[in-house]
Amino acid sequence: MIPKNDKKLIHAWAMYDWANSVYALVITSAIFPAYYNSVTRNGDHSRVSLFGIQIENTAAYAINLGIAFGIVALLSPLLSSISDYSGNQKNFMRFFCYLGAAGCISLFFFTGSAQVYLGLGGMMLATIGYSGSIVFYNSYLPVLATEDRQDKVSARGYAYGYLGSTTLLILVLFFILNQNRLGISDETLLPRLSFLITGCWWMGFAQISFNKLPRGLNVKPVEKKYLFHGYLEMLKIWRRLKTEKNLRTFLAGFFFYIMGVQTVMFMAASFGEKEIHLNMMNLILTVLILEYIAIPGAFLFAWISKKWGNIRSLSLAVMTWILICIAAYFISTAFHFYLVALFIGLVMGGIQSLSRSTYSKLIPKTGNNAGYFSFYDVCEKMAMMCGLVLFGYLDHASGSMRGSILALALWFIIGLTFLISLFKDAPLPHTNPDRPSIS
């Protein structure tokens, strides 16, 4: 029997957030995108050769990342089924952790266009490892904590992850700022060391979790074709959407606007390096600022949602994203980039938290919340795949990321259109308290 609300077990569980969040900040946001751009560019030539095709380096990066999330979306229902029926969550979590950490470590040997397959492959493995391990990590939460404490325990995990990732990023920034004092002439060494340290940090601190967490959880009785249970559950929810008009409309809007949100977040550093010619130090500082601004931004939109309701608040956030995309097209200086980044920070946390809470209010009371949220997660991953692949295609076709950024505005507009169609079912909270509203 696994004890509930055990402080040592909860600490061990949360430490995995401390361990793996460095991938999300160091690899996907702050350092690797800019490093990848710089080492795959030769003067004005920014194309790499992949499978005999010359393609823009940033386009290859976006498409590769999109494919990784597509793989994750396809695997997610299978992993959920394994988590429910295997009784050995820790070993699967450990496997994906080591896979992701190995992907990060392999990036240390990525030094230029000649190793582009290694760079993109390492990034793909890290992404799959990160997302795969999270499925099993999340499955521990309802077992370790009683329902009344799950929100608090979940928040502790996010707090650990935030502190761990920013700690490592600040450490890396310190070394980059003191590169000359350290007598390091190789411009690639410190970024590559950051990838190596990220993998070791992830794998090393994860041992705290692996040493304390139980091997398995209370499992469901094994059913026939249990491996396909997750996919069958997705199919059931897809069919139920035919009778859930508001939920169907919201998910359609969510799919399009989250395509834009996630694409901007993943490609912002690449855009800053390639189009604005910002150096790595400035990009790291920008990412750190975004992390800090996102916190009050999330609280700001939580306050707005109390006044206006969820749908109108989400619509405001999406309209802000549309303006961000249009403004980004005209960015020409570092100051412009920082200004746009400020607004991104204000809305990026709010739109994600509001989306999840809105969805939770729209799902029918069937007692199958886990299945609906699994569907939500797959929907988000598929949107990320489509957004990144389309962004990469437009980048390659035009030879510039500015056209791709402008195209994002169209995706946000489509998403906004779906949200606006929900207005009739989402009155302002104070206008008619007797009428059910999405607030």
Span 164-175, pLDDT tens digits: 988 998 898 888
Average pLDDT of the segment spanning 100-128: 94
Closest CA to 301 of 339, 293, 426, 250: 293
Q: How far apart are CA 177 and CA 186, in angstroms?
A: 14
Please state the three-class secondary structure of 277-339 as a single string: CCCHHHHHHHHHHHHHHHHHHHHHHHHHHHHHCHHHHHHHHHHHHHHHHHHHHCCCCHHHHHH
pLDDT at 372 exceeding the cut of 60? yes
Residue 437 region by backbone torsions, left for phi larger than 0, else alpha for psi between -120 and 50, else beta: beta
398: exposed, middle or buried (Cβ count in 10 Å: 0-12, 13-18, 19+): middle
Average pLDDT of the segment spanning 209-233: 73
What would the two tokens of residue 9 be?
């077990």
- One DSSP character per residue, 13-41 reads HHHHHHHHHHIIIIIIIISHHHHHHHHT-
The whole-number pLDDT of residue 425 equals 61
Look-up of token digits 């696994």: 2
pLDDT at 67 exceeding the cut of 60? yes
The whole-number pLDDT of residue 368 equals 58
The whole-number pLDDT of residue 46 equals 80
* Mean pLDDT lowest among 105-119, 245-259, 327-341, 407-421: 327-341
* Mean pLDDT lowest among 320-334, 351-365, 402-416: 351-365
pLDDT at 433 exceeding the cut of 60? no
CATH number of 244-439: 1.20.1250.20
Question: With b meaning 16 or more CB within 10 Å and e meaning fewer, what string describes 309-347?
Answer: bbbbbbbbbbebbbebbeebbebeeeeebbebbebbbbb
Are 259 and 411 spatial neighbours (Cβ–Cβ below 8 Å)? yes
Q: Note the helical H segments in 218-244.
A: 229-240
The whole-number pLDDT of residue 123 equals 95
Are 78 and 179 spatial neighbours (Cβ–Cβ below 8 Å)? no
Are 251 and 234 spatial neighbours (Cβ–Cβ below 8 Å)? no
Please state the three-class secondary structure of 345-405 as a single string: HHHHHHHHHHHHHHHHHHCCCCCCHHHHHHHHHHHHHHHHHHHHHHHHHHHHHHCCHHHHH
* Bigger pLDDT: 429 vs 185: 185
Q: How far apart are CA 434 and CA 426, in angstroms?
A: 12
Are 73 and 102 spatial neighbours (Cβ–Cβ below 8 Å)? no
Q: Class assignment of domain 1-222?
A: mainly alpha
Closest CA to 169 of 281, 16, 11: 281
The whole-number pLDDT of residue 84 equals 64
- What stretch(es) of the chain map to CATH 1.20.1250.20? 1-222, 244-439
Closest CA to 274 of 34, 50, 47: 34
